[in-house]
Amino acid sequence: MSVLLVFGTAAQAQQAPWSLASCIDYALEHNITVKQSALTVEQREVELNTAQMSRLPGVSASASENLSFGRGLTADNTYSNSNTTSTSFSLGASVPVFQGFEINNNIKLGKLNLEAATADLERARDDIRVAVAQAYVQILYNQELLRVAHEQLSHDRQLLEQITEREKSGKASQAEVSAQQATVAQSRQSEIQADGNLRLSILELTQLLELESPEGFSVVSPDVENVHQTLLMKPEAIYAQALEVKPSVESARLGVDYAKLNIAKAKGAYLPSLSLSGGLGTNYYTNSKIVSDGFWNQLSNNFSQYVGLNLSIPIFQRFGTRNNVRSAEIQYHNQQLALENVKKTLYKEIQQAYYNAVNAQARYSGSAESAESARVHYDLTEEKYKVGKAGIADYNDARNNWLKAESEHIQARYQCLYQTKLLDFYRGEKLDF
């Protein structure tokens, strides 16, 4: 297992290389989108608790103080100019007895909302897992290209030294030296480009991880030599398993259940509602023209209690209830279509990943042969070039063909790795290399 260290040895010594698993775990903990989805789950838990607590009675207390100046009603039912005060206290409670199943339906809807939010959270986690894996593979690919570019630059520099020595001894011309210098410059440019691409891919991954800086970041390179030999399941079999485990499908299913229950809730408005209420009350009254009983005596003498039932029967709601039911039914059919669309999209994604994996395996095997043939041709051309039997144009053609073939082989290797692991991920397995 090899490790690429970048951005300075001092920084790297302070931070161990990251595996794909550690990258995914860190992203799941720190990614803002995932955090927002987690907060949505907490919000749905609060909403469910609110719906459940709506079964409890509502209790309220009140107190009032009134002052009156001028003509007022006296105790003997006559009016006179006087100042009066009135103090009252009350405590009341109301209990819903029957609300057209609204409370039960709200609780069921709250539970479905919570389950849907949990599924959406897992879907957000899946999205970040895939994004991290893609960025991770891109780093692996770019670091291999940088390795090849670095080795080629070192090789071309050694060859330049050999040609320079031959020129000094009269066995090579100045034109051959200049041509090889141009080749070294080209290799140096390729190395700079490869290094820049690697830095950008590392930056992309560290941004997904919400790291402050890519400095000192490095990754672990997995063993991918036998990945092209992995047996692939057919898309239909993978799809059957994915339907049971993918959170996007679960979220869409819950959306259908939610819409269906919403129809029942809307129909509940046709039914009457019944509530039970009760309370306690008392008051204290004074009049400047009359001697009143003491405060505590009045509170005791005026103490009263009440209990009552309130029945409300909907008769005509201007077709509001009917239209609400129709709207809920339309939403239900829309959610059914959304579920079907999610399933079809998932199957298309699995098909695409499957054929990408098949092509990647075939491309990997073919590119291995192509890269090996190009390398052999390059080695032979180089030997001829060293002894003056091949020109710089032949050498550069062989060199460029080998570099292109090697680049395609490296790309095919990591595409094969990613696509085969992605198929396993659709089946519910952990995304790891």
Q: Report the candidate in 142, 141, 226 with the shortest Cα–Cα distance to residue 414.
A: 141
Domains of the chain: residue spans and CATH: 226-271+335-433 (1.20.1600.10)
> Phi first, then psi: what are they for 388, rounded to 5°?
85, 15
Look at the alpha carbons of 27, 33, 36, 41 in this order and tell me if their dihedral is positive or negative.
negative
pLDDT truncated to tens, each residue of the chain (433 aa)? 334 444 443 343 347 889 999 999 999 999 899 999 999 999 999 999 999 998 888 899 999 988 877 766 665 667 777 777 888 989 998 888 888 888 899 999 999 999 999 999 999 999 999 999 999 999 998 998 898 889 888 888 888 887 888 778 877 778 878 888 898 998 899 999 999 999 999 999 999 998 988 888 989 887 766 655 667 889 999 999 999 999 999 999 999 999 999 999 899 889 998 888 999 999 888 877 777 788 888 888 888 998 988 888 999 888 888 999 999 999 999 999 999 999 999 999 999 999 988 888 888 888 888 888 888 998 898 888 777 777 777 877 888 888 888 888 888 888 888 888 899 899 888 888 7
Residue 334 and residue 258: Cα distance in Å, rounded?
Answer: 12
Facing residues of 274 across strands? 98, 311
Cβ-based neighbour number of residue 220 at 10 Å: 19
Q: Report the candidate in 33, 209, 185 with the shortest Cα–Cα distance to residue 120.
A: 33
Helix (H, G, I), strand (E, B) or coil at 2: coil
Q: Note the residue count of the chain.
A: 433
Residue 414 and residue 260: Cα distance in Å, rounded?
Answer: 45
